[in-house]
Each structure stands twice: as C-alpha cells, then as structure tokens.
Amino acid sequence: MTLPDRIREAIAADHAAIESTPFALAMTSGKIDIDVYAAGMRELYHVHASLEASLAVALPISPEVSAAYDPTRMTRSGLITSDLAALGVLPPGEPSAVVAGFAAEIGDWATSRPWALIGPLYVLEGSRMGSMVLVRSLAPALAAECRPGSGLDYHLAGIATRPQDWQRFRSTISGLKMTDAQQADVLGAAITTMQMLVLLYADLPGEPVLADAAHV
C-alpha cells in the first residue's frame, strides 16, 4: 500500500466525522449564513497560515518537504483573507485554542521532524477536491459568483487542473524515500490534523442566522 493510501485509510473515520458536523452539513446543503461561514474560514486561515509558516522553515532542511511542497501553488491563507474582504465580513482575529495548539505543535515538527508536515499538507491539499463540489452550494448561499474575486477563491483557485495536480501530488509522496519511522510520523501528523479539524468543525455553528433575526 502506498503512503497516500495509508494516510487516506488512517484518516477515514475522522473525515466522516467532519462531514457529519452541523457546520459541514450547512455548507454542503447550501443553507449556511455568511457570518457562520466566515467564522469557519477565519479559523481555517490560522490553520493554513501556521502550516505555511512551518513548511517555510522545513523547506530548506527537508528533501521530503522540498519534493512535495510548492509554495507558489499550495499557499492558501492569502486566498482566505481576500475572500473575507470580498464578502464584506470581518478579517481573521485570534485563533481558537484548538487551532493555536495545533499551530504550536506543527511549529515544533518543522525543526524536529520536518517530514511529518507532509501529513497535514496531504490533508489540506486533499480538501481542495471537496471544494470542487462544495463551491456549487456555497455560491448561492453566500450570494457570490463562481468567478475570481467574488469571495470564493479559496475553493476556485487552480480548479481547472485540480484533479491532475492532486494525482501528481500523490505520486510525488508515493515516490519519497522515507524510513518506516518517518512514514509513521507522516501518518501520525495527518491523524493529528484531522482530529484538530474534527474539534474545530464541531465547535462551529451549523444553523444559519436568519437575516431578520437581529431585528426581533
């Protein structure tokens, strides 16, 4: 079994748990309020920003990270900030305790076992595939158009070549020369990332806030 297949198998239960949270269900059903959606994206900003910072540290010292990570195509924190601005909602503030703890942990991995960062990178790159479907329900819910600059760039960026890019990424990981211990670190880091996301999504609201509720 390839390393990507082992990662997919290891995180399958947590992936299912995330998809069953009220927040995820609100997005997939297209019944999510813009402020609820923005609350989730503000947290995901910190998830991406912390991983990108850790990968930047690991890039020059880890051949595994250097092979797998392309910062010109895989950075997404900036897409979130521009999306929030386009949607006219608040920018990211301080991260939740769950996300802050994750950021500290992967910051340690960047220098102690940088190859482990391939685990969270796999998780977040894999989420791009789900975005291809998710954007269809989000666009009408957020009154946004499916075009660049409308507030959905986090989901739309690179969509034309996404399936091919994902397969290329998986092939690259499959070809990495890593010891059993290093692969175990990658698996553990992917599981840690998914468990953090389960907690994050479970803490986010899932019921849409009615537009006239604030005036009652």
Single-letter amino acid, residue 185: D
Percentage, residues of the chain above pLDDT 90: 94
Please state, in angstroms and as integers, the Cα–Cα distance from residue 147 to each residue in 50, 83, 154, 192, following that order. Answer: 27, 11, 11, 34
143 CB-near residues (< 8 Å, 6+ apart): 34
pLDDT tens for residues 134-165?
A: 999 999 999 999 999 999 999 999 999 999 99
| Cα gap 28→125, rounded to integer Å | 19
Count of alpha carbons within 13 angstroms of residue 83, beta-carbon side: 33
pLDDT of residue 179: 98
At 206 the pLDDT is: 72
* pLDDT over threshold 60, residue 213: no
The pLDDT of residue 207 is: 56
What's residue 118's pLDDT?
98
Q: Would you kindly state where each structural domain of the chain is located, as residue ranges?
A: 3-9+23-199
Fold (CATH) for 3-9+23-199: Heme Oxygenase; Chain A (1.20.910)
Q: CB under 8 Å to 63, separation ≥6 — which residues?
A: none
**pLDDT confidence bin for 7, thresholds 50/70/90:** very high
pLDDT digits (tens, 9 = 90+) for 168-199: 999 999 999 999 999 999 999 999 999 999 99
Pairwise CA distance, residues 144 & 127, whole Å: 20
Buried b (16+ CB within 10 A) or exposed e, 139-159: bebbebeeeeebbbbbbbbeb
